[in-house]
């Protein structure tokens, strides 16, 4: 069940006179409307060994819309350049256990794994607000850990930052796009919930992949605290899954390299599915599978039909 939502109307930010990145501003009364004649969903398919599956036909896919089977109109493969935004957590908790150092290494690794001159990359940071460090560019040598000059400080508005950054990514013309969030996974300052944010990103077709950089915490004696930590991790994983993304453990350079080698090919090669939307206005959860149950399908969790208005 998703709460009624709205999307922020965001303005691109530059640098202040002192050279500090300025916060990305948000409309104080954001709204979002969507009216589509055809729903388009980008789908990644892998086999049990994690390899990309190519050359599937429309007959290989199954679609459920709000629990009911729906006809897929078209399916075609798409292999394209990527539009990636990296969102780096610079809140106070990232100062612990050298988490910010791992985050900087992740930025360098992501920029190095993309194709300069073809792919485009942008860099954002957040604590209680979202900041644009480098706007989208295909000159990937412009983006690196040296851009992350600010020391970790403040509360973590993780879910709010994800919603705002996903909105900006959703404005890119390239449909092969994603938001990569580099964080320790802590949220202690957001107004939005994981479910609300997943609706935002799903409605604008931006998968959210979370790269966690924190080491495992020592086991707590207090069971209530353990339960809180489990709930937070579950919310983050749900957010990623509902948008068509995932949570990836990237505590070591080896973890990070393996994650990028798996993640990026699945973003490049996708199937584009189209189908007629429901006549019922509002949010519609969808489920996409293949006739072969051994294959793993990754796609966003729903769409908005009609002129539905989603408010915060």
Question: Domain locations in the chain?
Answer: 10-31+80-264, 36-78+268-311
Q: Which residues contact 100 (CB under 8 A, 6 or more apart)?
A: 90, 94, 148, 152
Q: Give the homologous superfamily in CATH for domain 10-31+80-264.
A: von Willebrand factor, type A domain (3.40.50.410)
Burial class (CB in 10 A: 0-12, 13-18, 19+), 303: buried
Give the per-residue pLDDT at 255: 94
Distance CA 308, CA 127 (A): 31
Averaged pLDDT, 131-156: 87
CB 76 within 8 A of CB 85: no
CB 40 within 8 A of CB 72: no
- pLDDT at residue 188 tops 90: no
Residue of higher predicted confidence among 225 and 210: 210
Tens digits of residue pLDDT in 231-240 = 555 688 888 9
Distance CA 199, CA 302 (A): 8
**The CATH classification of domain 36-78+268-311, taken from the options 1.10.10, 3.40.47, 2.60.40, 2.60.120:** 2.60.40
Tens digits of residue pLDDT in 22-81 = 677 654 434 444 555 789 999 999 999 999 999 999 999 999 999 999 999 999 999 999
Residue of higher predicted confidence among 237 and 218: 237
CB 201 within 8 A of CB 232: no
State pTM to two decimals.
0.84
Averaged pLDDT, 208-226: 65
Distance CA 219, CA 194 (A): 25
Rg, the chain, Cα only: 19
Averaged pLDDT, 73-92: 95
CB 175 within 8 A of CB 84: no
Give the per-residue pLDDT at 307: 56
Q: Where are the alpha helices (DSSP H) in 133-180?
A: 158-169
Beta-strand pair 282-290/302-305: antiparallel
**170-208 b/e with 16+ CB inside 10 Å = b?**
bebeeebbbbbbbbbbbbebbebbbbbbbbbbbbbbbbb
- pLDDT at residue 95 tops 60: yes
What is the spatial order of strands in the sheet that 74-79 belongs to?
Answer: 74-79, 269-275, 39-46, 296-298
Segment among 47-51, 105-109, 190-194, 220-224 with least mean pLDDT: 220-224
CB 60 within 8 A of CB 291: yes
């Amino acid at each position: 069940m998703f709460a009624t939502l709205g999307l922020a109307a965001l303005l691109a930010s530059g640098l202040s006179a002192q050279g500090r990145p300025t916060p990305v501003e948000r409309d104080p009364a954001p709204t979002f409307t969507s009216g589509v004649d055809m729903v388009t969903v980008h789908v990644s398919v892998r086999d049990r060994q994690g390899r990309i599956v190519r050359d599937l036909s429309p007959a290989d896919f199954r679609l459920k819309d709000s629990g009911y089977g729906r006809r897929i109109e078209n399916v075609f493969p798409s292999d394209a350049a990527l539009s990636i935004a990296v969102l780096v957590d610079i809140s106070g908790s990232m100062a612990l256990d050298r988490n910010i150092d791992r985050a900087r290494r992740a930025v360098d690794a992501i920029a190095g794994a993309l194709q300069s001159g073809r792919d485009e990359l942008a860099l954002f940071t957040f604590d209680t607000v979202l900041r644009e460090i480098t706007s989208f560019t295909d000159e990937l040598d412009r983006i690196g850990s040296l851009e992350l000059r600010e020391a970790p400080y403040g509360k973590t508005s993780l879910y709010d930052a994800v919603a705002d950054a996903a909105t900006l990514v959703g404005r890119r013309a390239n449909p092969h796009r994603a938001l990569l969030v580099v964080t320790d996974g802590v949220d202690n300052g957001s107004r939005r919930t994981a479910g609300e944010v997943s609706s935002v990103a799903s409605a604008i077709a931006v998968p959210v992949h979370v790269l966690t950089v924190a080491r495992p915490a020592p086991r707590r004696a207090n069971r209530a605290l353990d339960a809180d930590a489990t709930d937070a991790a579950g919310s983050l994983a749900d957010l990623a899954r509902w948008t068509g993304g995932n949570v990836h453990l990237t505590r070591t350079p080896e973890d990070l390299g393996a994650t990028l080698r798996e993640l990026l090919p699945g973003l490049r090669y996708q199937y584009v599915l189209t189908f007629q939307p429901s006549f019922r206005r509002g949010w519609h959860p969808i489920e996409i599978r293949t006739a072969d149950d051994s294959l793993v399908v990754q796609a966003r969790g729903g769409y908005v039909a009609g002129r539905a208005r989603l408010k915060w």
